[in-house]
Structure 1
Amino acid sequence: MRLTHTYTRHWDIETRQHELLGIDLGEGIPRKTLRYAAAICGTWWALWLLLFGFPPARAVSLFLAPPIALTWAGSKRSQTYWRRTNLLVWSVRIAYLLRGIQPVLGRGRIPGPRLGLRLRARRLGERVPQLPRMPGLEGLFGSEGPDATHTDGEPFRTRPRVRLYGPDAVAKSHRKRRRRTTTTSTKES
């Protein structure tokens, strides 16, 4: 069996920050990682300051460690999708869990119903029977009421007609189109 090597992963071009606020960073931090860090740290610190105020001296590690660890783990390349970062893969999974697969209605102009969260909660309640019995969670994980998959009505069924066109039919349609374009051009002039 013959083995080959792929060198494209080693040739990955990435913009790096070689200097930040006048401080030389050496090889530099990737700019995407800096963007992730700014967004994650800013959000974390804003929520912390809003909920708890300034941290005491003992809680500074709790204030600094989680966003730095999340940035470090999230900016690494995913093992399953090597072109994506872990943070992007995690956000796609969370979006799927929250929204699910939504139907396309009116070529995307009409938003689809939000059934995905209800369906997942019901399935989770069926898999873990203790969840619907917990106080306060009966309505979320319970299976009472109509099935949420059928609340929008019956599925729309179509009967497509399959037509096979040969080269003679295609040539005929080209001749018709040519005639139509020549007659409209002569009428305009």
Structure 2
Amino acid sequence: MSRTGRTYTRHFDLDPRQHELLGVDLGEGLVRRALILGISLLVLWNGALFLVLGLPTIPTLTLYITPPLGVTFFGAQRSIRLDRRYNFTIWALTARYLSVGHRPIICGGRRAAHRSEWLGRRARWGRQLEWFADTPLGPLVERWLGPESAIPTGSGTALRLDTRTRLYGPDAVVRAYGRKALTTNEETRP
């Protein structure tokens, strides 16, 4: 009979809610994470647009409000791929990977990776920008990505390590090395 374990922690994920804001009753409340994200994005976006376009007018009011609200609405939802993360976190990690890459872990972190061992732009951006190759921007994108040879030959899917630990006693070591190796070491001692 096999036993099956289940994780119920996802069912107990309770988001804190803001039920009142500046004396205004919000009813069942807004999720605080979405509220903080929305307010911060609204301030940053409107600040940048204010510096570029000036005060909002009736035609530009949609440009001032819609992008931060859209990013807040879709970013504060749970990711479909990884249900423990929010979409905004997935977007931020993807943007970081595409812009900076990642530092490879060499020898379990015992040695820091040299800059030449990091993944290049072509290895990170190649698949996302393939459709630009047939456009007038194709040569410019190809120059920015670098040569095809910049992709490391060993890059690919992760290897699955299936190791098995064994403990050998002194009798197994003697059988492996033989009696002669053991007596030779004893004779060389002073």
User: Common fold, TM-score beyond 0.5?
Assistant: yes
The Cα of 1:17 is off from its aligned counterpart by 0.7
Matches for 1:130-145 after TM superposition, within 5 Å: 130=134, 134=138, 136-141=140-145, 143=147
The Cα of 1:55 is off from its aligned counterpart by 1.9
Worse overlay, 121-130 or 134-143: 121-130
Provide the C-alpha distance between the structure 2 equivalents of 1:100 and 1:131, rounded to a whole number of angstroms: 26
Provide the C-alpha distance between the structure 2 equivalents of 1:14 and 1:135, rounded to a whole number of angstroms: 48
> CA offsets per residue over residues 69-88 of structure 1, 9 Å max, x none?
11011111112222211111
Task: Name the SS for the 1:57 alignment partner.
Answer: coil
State the match for 2:18 in structure 1.
17
User: CA distance change for structure 1 residues 164 and 111 in 2, over 3 Å: closer, same or farther?
Assistant: same
> CA offsets per residue over residues 24-66 of structure 1, 9 Å max, x none?
1111111111121122212211221122111222211121111
State the match for 1:120 in structure 2.
124
Matches for 1:38-49 after TM superposition, within 5 Å: 38-49=39-50
Q: State how many pairs are aligned.
A: 152
How does the TM-score come out when normalised to structure 2?
A: 0.62
How does the TM-score come out when normalised to structure 1?
A: 0.62
State the match for 2:168 in structure 1.
166
User: CA distance change for structure 1 residues 67 and 132 in 2, over 3 Å: closer, same or farther?
Assistant: same
Provide the C-alpha distance between the structure 2 equivalents of 1:134 and 1:110, rounded to a whole number of angstroms: 32
Task: Name the SS for the 2:39 alignment partner.
Answer: helix
Provide the C-alpha distance between the structure 2 equivalents of 1:164 and 1:10, rounded to a whole number of angstroms: 40
Kindly indicate whether the alpha-carbon contact (under 8 Å) linking 1:121 and 1:140 is maintained by their aligned counterparts in 2. no
Provide the C-alpha distance between the structure 1 equivalents of 2:145 and 2:136, rounded to a whole number of angstroms: 5
Provide the C-alpha distance between the structure 2 equivalents of 1:84 and 1:130, rounded to a whole number of angstroms: 36
Provide the C-alpha distance between the structure 2 equivalents of 1:168 and 1:135, rounded to a whole number of angstroms: 66
Q: Which letter does structure 2 place at the counterpart of 1:15?
A: P
Provide the C-alpha distance between the structure 1 equivalents of 2:102 and 2:123, rounded to a whole number of angstroms: 11
Which structure 2 residue ranges, 5 or more long, are not aligned? Answer: 1-5, 153-164, 172-190
Which structure 1 residue ranges, 5 or more long, are not aligned? Answer: 151-162, 170-189
Q: Which letter does structure 1 place at the counterpart of 2:59?
A: R
Kindly indicate whether the alpha-carbon contact (under 8 Å) linking 2:102 and 2:119 is maintained by their aligned counterparts in 1. no
The Cα of 1:11 is off from its aligned counterpart by 3.5
The Cα of 1:67 is off from its aligned counterpart by 0.7
Worse overlay, 20-29 or 10-19: 10-19
- Root mean square deviation of aligned Cα: 3.5
Provide the C-alpha distance between the structure 2 equivalents of 1:141 and 1:132, rounded to a whole number of angstroms: 16
Kindly indicate whether the alpha-carbon contact (under 8 Å) linking 1:41 and 1:67 is maintained by their aligned counterparts in 2. yes
User: CA distance change for structure 1 residues 107 and 134 in 2, over 3 Å: closer, same or farther?
Assistant: same
> Higher RCO, 1 or 2 (CA under 8 Å, sep at least 6)?
2
